[in-house]
Structure 1
């Protein structure tokens, strides 16, 4: 089973709430080096952490990062965005931008680092969401649903190369992205701990909280159960 001990980990979106924990907890589990990738890298004051400039929406930046980090054995696709866009917007430019980060960016990073992962028999961890399975998050849900589907394909296609692909699903975490959310929030450290536990246990999918487990279990049920608002919309007086 995959182990983080002596691994070389790349974390995208490393400066964020989850990203910071992905960096530090990898080291706690014995990683030899962590590339902390971000659009604007910062100094981590730790020789084991290598700041790496990486804009997941920029192919040139991705290629440069892959060239500077050829020894990566674990990729954590953590970078993500939320911009309030909707699939019903007349102007779809904002949702296109969201897909550039949450979907196309994650795919491009994976493809750029696949040669390194292939040579190491490495691990790909995609950070998804409970909103991968329900449309309540509008455009954000659409991006995560697309990445969930792509993750399933990656898992199948890359298995022959010895690359283990893991999907992480979670509800709201207490990070800057969820600042405007009034619902209960998960501690980022707990989310990352569950993710890395799943990686080291050889899991293909990690459901980090009860909400994710309930929604996943409910996918086989009637849509009116998954989306209570449909019951009201279909009521005939």
Structure 2
């Protein structure tokens, strides 16, 4: 269909440049139809639907995107026991987080990253500057900034507790990259323990609250389970 309309446009433009444009109604009908078709294609791709349109365009690209193969070896340097299946899960979790991060960027707010494995994978991806720039331009349609000098400090203040709560809710609602783990925990929260990363986060539900552990420190009652989606 695109080829057909392109040929029609070339024919009309060629005739116009030769000063032999189509006569009668065709003179006006052809450009009107072409413009209508272009607007229709843009609408189908979500260009006129705001943030919802952005998601419509980005999610299929995120699903189909293959991260640079070198990232698997780079992540294995941090996690020696990493299997191919573990790496696939880490990539899925990174896709989820990047989608969440852009959502929060649009709302001018921040979101926590509850997985050390995803943090390391994202960092290694950012260090491949050309690949990451192309990814942001062609997949996300927007730059996603990562501060390489930032050191994460797992201090669960009241504000960070709310960020954990929001991150859990948002991650639990995303089904485009696979279902949650068997215990219902979003992949973004379950990943570090699932792949056996000793230096990673550990999250589990206990007595209606989320217990999070990182680098030997335990944080309880981040938020109540009754605030979680079913």
The answer to whether TM tops 0.5 is no
TM-score (norm 1): 0.27
Bigger helix share:
2
Structure number with the higher strand fraction is 1
Tell which structure's C-alpha radius of gyration is larger.
2
